[in-house]
Amino acid sequence: MPIPAPIRVTQETSAALWLIVDMTLNVAVLAIVKWLGGDYAATQVVFLRALIGLALVLPWAWRERQVFRHIDRHRWHLLRIVLASVTLASSFYAVARLPLALFTAINFSRPLVLMAMAALLIDERIGARRWAAAGLGLLGVLVAVNPDNVPLSGAVLALAVTVLAGCGSILVTRKLVDAPAVLLMTCYALGLTVLCAPFALVNWHPVPMAHLPWLVAIGVLTQLAQFCFLRAHALGEVGLLAPLGYLSLFLSALAGWAVFTEVPTAATVTGSVIIVLAALLAGRR
């Protein structure tokens, strides 16, 4: 009986699989935060997530401790941490109060917002086609978020802050792109822990034992997702991975339906399609 030939997995397929795992883990984290979000302040969840992430990254930091001897660009590191703290806190607040599919759809406008911010803040040249795509994406946001679908609330404003602060964090990270990954991850986790600690303590809510494994899971799954993301982008090109990233919209809608019995409205679906098309148009070479 002939032995079947082993299945050969190409580098592109491997990159796609790593990214799918990354997206699945991130959606799982959002679902946990949404489930727990009504019981805890967003800053408490961010603090616990950062503390667990710091504990996980410290052994790696100790092994590569020589890279910490000459840390420069302190202001950029600090600004990145502040923006990341705002992004996570506002994100956790919003996702606990909005449908998962809508939350994910509006976050897909980040490439368009990032493009506009790059043009305004760092004088990056943007062509007419990309500006048209940004306008189309704004239309998609307005369609997805409307008074009949989601009334204007603190959660909607927090989601807007999430997009703006997240894009600012990406721009700052570009200034640090040549720094070692262990340095960036350690500074990120340590900075989040220190910065969010006072706010978390002021708003601290006792954690019952039944919730403790879920809060630990947020930190562990986030770190695993970050590892999968880095592996995906180490193996695959952006041109392959960027369109695949929109699969997370389907995963979020599926999680929202399965866990929270959320059914996306027609406005959310229509707005999501417009946003995705606009982002693809802006990213097309």
pTM across the whole model = 0.76
Mean pLDDT of 186-204: 88
Cα(231)–Cα(281) distance, integer angstroms: 26
Percent of the chain surpassing pLDDT 90: 1
Of the pLDDT bands very low, low, confident and very high (cuts 50, 70, 90), residue 123 is low
Q: Which long-range contacts (CB under 8 A, 24 or more apart) does 151-160 make?
A: 153/97, 154/93, 154/97, 155/93, 155/94, 155/96, 155/97, 155/98, 156/94, 156/98, 158/90, 158/91, 158/93, 158/94, 159/90, 159/91, 159/94, 159/98, 159/103, 159/106, 159/107
**Which pLDDT score is estimated for 75?**
85
In a domain, 49, yes or no: yes
Cα(118)–Cα(179) distance, integer angstroms: 21
**Which pLDDT score is estimated for 23?**
84
Of the pLDDT bands very low, low, confident and very high (cuts 50, 70, 90), residue 9 is low
Task: Assess whether pLDDT exceeds 70 at residue 124.
Answer: no
Domain count, the chain: 1
**Which pLDDT score is estimated for 126?**
67
Identify whether the C-beta of residue 47 lies closer than 8 Å to the C-beta of residue 157.
no
**Residue 80 vs residue 248, higher pLDDT:** 80
CA distances to 137, 192, 243 from 280, in Å: 10, 32, 7
* Three-state secondary-structure class, residue 58: helix
Task: Assess whether pLDDT exceeds 50 at residue 5.
Answer: no
In a domain, 6, yes or no: no
**Residue 181 vs residue 84, higher pLDDT:** 84
Structural domain of 263: 11-283
* Three-state secondary-structure class, residue 84: helix
In a domain, 257, yes or no: yes
Where helices occur in the chain by DSSP H, the ranges are 11-36, 42-63, 74-95, 100-107, 110-121, 128-144, 154-175, 181-202, 212-235, 238-244, 247-260, 266-283
**Mean pLDDT of all residues belonging to the chain:** 79
Class of residue 139 by CB neighbours under 10 A (exposed 0-12, middle 13-18, buried 19+): middle
Task: Assess whether pLDDT exceeds 50 at residue 6.
Answer: no
Q: Choose the most confident range, by mean pLDDT, from 4-13, 195-204, 231-240, 245-254.
A: 195-204
In a domain, 2, yes or no: no
In a domain, 76, yes or no: yes
Task: Assess whether pLDDT exceeds 80 at residue 160.
Answer: yes
Give the Cβ contact number of residue 68 at 10 Å. Answer: 14
Return the amino acid letter for 28. A
Mean pLDDT of 217-240: 77
**Which pLDDT score is estimated for 241?**
67
Mean pLDDT of 82-96: 88
**Which pLDDT score is estimated for 100?**
82
Instruction: Give 156's contacts (C-beta < 8 A, 6+ positions apart).
Output: 94, 98, 145, 150
Q: Is the dihedral of CA 11, 275, 252, 158 positive or negative?
A: positive
In a domain, 4, yes or no: no
Which of 60-74, 85-99, 165-179, 225-239 bottoms out in mean pLDDT, i.e. has the lowest?
225-239
In a domain, 3, yes or no: no
